[in-house]
Amino acid sequence: MNGRRRLLVASVISIQNFSFVYPSCQYCFSKLILDSNRFNCLKCGCTGEAKDANYRYRLSLKVADTNELFDITVFGSSLDPFFGVTAGSLHRCIQDFNQVSGELDRNASPSELIQAVKTCFIGRRFIFGVKDILGMISLS
């Protein structure tokens, strides 16, 4: 896959998914499969204890430049400054908040966090580093 890298200046129209963090393989960054005690990476085979899983940011956005709409997903530590903490720290905060509030899904993003993310991103312009692969745009 030989992709051409370029910059895209676009405004955020909407947030596409409200799961802002995911359990990530420390080697290949793929999403981990978690059970109550263990994690497993289907891509590279990495395994370990669930309590030791790494977390990474994933922010799925609908953005618009002057002519087109794009679905863009921003991954990783580039989002640390916007959230103010690492993805692992945010994940722990979400779990603690949900436990105290009685939310059944301990990983669900609280409505206050969702509103804060919407306020921070929607309507603002950003420069995205993207890779154009077969006419499709994806974040590099």
Per-residue model confidence (pLDDT) at position 140: 41
- DSSP lists the bridge partners of residue 13 as none
C-alpha 5/C-alpha 127 separation (Å) is: 13
Per-residue model confidence (pLDDT) at position 130: 87
Per-residue model confidence (pLDDT) at position 132: 66
Q: How far is the CA of 33 from the CAs of 24, 43, 105, 121, 140, in angstroms?
A: 9, 10, 17, 29, 24
Per-residue model confidence (pLDDT) at position 138: 47
CATH class of 4-18+57-139: mainly beta
Per-residue model confidence (pLDDT) at position 4: 77
Phi then psi for residue 48, to 5 deg, are: 175, -175
pTM of the model: 0.84
8 Å CB contact between 94 and 107: yes
C-alpha 74/C-alpha 93 separation (Å) is: 21
Per-residue model confidence (pLDDT) at position 104: 87
Per-residue model confidence (pLDDT) at position 3: 65
Q: Which of 123, 124, 90, 127 is nearest to 108 (CA)?
A: 90
With a cut of 50, list the residues of the chain below it in pLDDT.
Answer: 1, 133-134, 136-138, 140
